[in-house]
């Protein structure tokens, strides 16, 4: 088992290997994720409305 300081030293070394995205790439990916989330929310809302209408017409 290694000491906590040795572990943190290795973690710091690994951080130098990370390739961070550019600001433009990060913003583009964020917008894609937000767009997909909105599309799924609209789709689920549409299904909820349709199924609710069907149940309402059957029940009452």
pLDDT tens digits, 19-53:
999 999 999 999 999 999 999 999 999 999 999 99
Whether the model pTM is above 0.95: no
Cα 55 from Cα 60, distance rounded (Å): 8
Say if 57 falls within a structural domain. Answer: yes
Q: What is the pLDDT of residue 2?
A: 81
Number of domains comprising the chain: 1
Q: Read off the pLDDT of each residue in 11-21 and give the average, rounded to a whole number.
A: 95
Cα 25 from Cα 31, distance rounded (Å): 10
Cα 54 from Cα 60, distance rounded (Å): 10
Q: Could you tell me the residue range of the domain that residue 50 belongs to? A: 21-60
Say if 13 falls within a structural domain. Answer: no
Say if 15 falls within a structural domain. Answer: no
Say if 42 falls within a structural domain. Answer: yes
Say if 11 falls within a structural domain. Answer: no
Q: What is the pLDDT of residue 34?
A: 98
Cα 52 from Cα 60, distance rounded (Å): 12
């Amino acid at each position: 088992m290694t000491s906590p300081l040795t572990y943190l030293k290795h973690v710091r070394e690994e951080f130098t290997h990370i390739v961070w995205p550019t600001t433009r790439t990060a913003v583009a990916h964020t917008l894609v994720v937000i767009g997909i989330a909105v599309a799924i929310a609209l789709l689920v809302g549409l299904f909820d409305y349709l199924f609710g209408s069907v149940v309402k017409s059957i029940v009452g």
